Structures are given as C-alpha cells and as structure tokens.
Amino acid sequence: GKFADIDPVRWPESFDTNFYGTYNGCRVALASMLPRGQGKIINILGVGADRPAPNQSAYGTAKAAVARLTETLAVEYAHSGIAILAVMPGMIWTEMLTRAEGVNPAMQSRMEWAMRVFGNPPEVPARFVVQLAERNEPTGKTFRLLTPRIFVPRMAREMLGAGKKNPRPWEARPD
C-alpha cells in the first residue's frame, strides 16, 4: 500500500526480512570466505532497488538498502578474492503479492493479473542464480533479468520449444 496506509509496525518487519536477512547472510558468508580468500555472494534485489514503485515504500526502501550494501561490500572486499554480485530478477509471481497491505481489492486484482500474465515463475531466476554461481564474474556487477513473457505469451513460448533441453527462458544483462 501507500506509505501513509501501511501500519508503522510493518516497516521493521519488511526490513527484517528484506534487508537484515541479507545483511546477516553476508556476515556469515564473509566470515567463512575471508580466511579462504575466495567465494561468491549473490544478493537478490527487487524493483525498489532500482527505482521507486507505487505501493511498495517499505519493500522498495529495504531492497534499495540491499543494493547499497552489495555495492559497498563489493568495494570493501574488491581485493579479497570474493565476488559480491546482485541479481534483480524482474517480475516474479509469488504468493506474497496476495497479501499486499493497504491495496484496494480492484488494484489487488489487477496486480495479480499482471503478475500471472507477465511475471516469471520463481524457478527462472533460481536457475539463473545457480548458473551465475558457477561463472567467473568480476565483483560488483548487478544482473537484471528480462522476462520473455513481456514479449511472448506463455503458450507461445511452450509452442516455440521453451521446454527443450537446457532452456534459457531469460536474458541477463550486467550493468
């Protein structure tokens, strides 16, 4: 919902999940990776990390904090042998959207329709993150996933063979 419509108690909940979860994960990962002088941290960003989005003030602000944390860690540990990267997965259909606070039912219905039509299932960015973990990328990059659903409806993708061996139902471009 809009900023004034969100219960102030929800802001810390959003930061606990979306920022402090990442913060704590980075601390644990770095403690293990620094003595070895190698490793890779891949943080997940949201739309709010890149630009403001209506009705996402708490979530977007927390994800913007994750983006800055990722950039800062990449600079601080640039010569440690640890690559610190970020992925912005684009539109992902999740059940969290059905619980948006402060959104009227008509808007909620439109949001759900848009995500079902244009959003990727969570498995798409998950596959990309696994592949990214196996690649040798320099620290500090952010990858934005572009969903083909915006351009080609699901049925057409299936007809065109998106189910073939080793499908690549996304494109990624580094910043």
* Terminal-residue alpha carbon distance, the chain: 30
Strand order across the 142-146 sheet: 39-44, 82-88, 142-146, 171-174
Q: DSSP assignment, residue 119?
A: P
Distance CA 175, CA 62 (A): 21
Residue 87, Ramachandran bin (φ over 0: left; ψ between -120 and 50: alpha; else beta): beta
Say if CB 123 and CB 92 are below 8 A apart: no
The answer to whether 23 is a known catalytic residue is: no
Please tell me which residue in 20, 23, 59, 77 is annotated as part of the active site: 59
Say if CB 87 and CB 44 are below 8 A apart: yes
Say if CB 120 and CB 149 are below 8 A apart: yes
Give the chain's length: 175
Token digits for 102?
């402060």
Active site residues per annotation: 59
